[in-house]
Amino acid sequence: MEVTKFSVSEESAIKQYFDSYGYVVVENLLDPSKIQQFLYSYEQIKHSKLFMFFSQDTHLPIQPKLTRRGSLKIQC
C-alpha cells in the first residue's frame, strides 16, 4: 500500500486529505535529530523504576511492565 505524502507548503491539500481520511503524512516536518532525542528520552523514562502511567481505563496511576521487546505492557 502506497502512502500519500505532502510537503509542508501544501496546506490546503493537507487539510483536505486530513478531513477525508483523519490522518496525514507530512514529509520532513520534524527534524530527525529531535525525533532521535525523543526516542532516547522515552527509552530512559520507560526503564526508570519511578515511571508511572495514568490509566484511562481505571483512572489510577500504575507502574507498567515491559515486554521482552521493550514495549509497555499495561496490566489492569
Residues 10-61 have pLDDT tens digits of 999 999 999 999 999 999 999 999 999 999 999 999 889 898 888 788 888 8
Helix (H), strand (E) at residue 15: helix 11-21
43 & 26 share domain: no
37 & 26 share domain: no
Stated pTM of the model:
0.60
48 & 73 share domain: yes
38 & 53 share domain: yes
Q: What is the CA radius of gyration of the chain?
A: 18
Instruction: Specify the pLDDT at position 19.
Output: 98
51 & 67 share domain: yes
Domain count, the chain: 2
43 & 18 share domain: no
* pLDDT band at residue 75 using 50, 70 and 90 as cut-offs: low
Instruction: Specify the pLDDT at position 76.
Output: 58
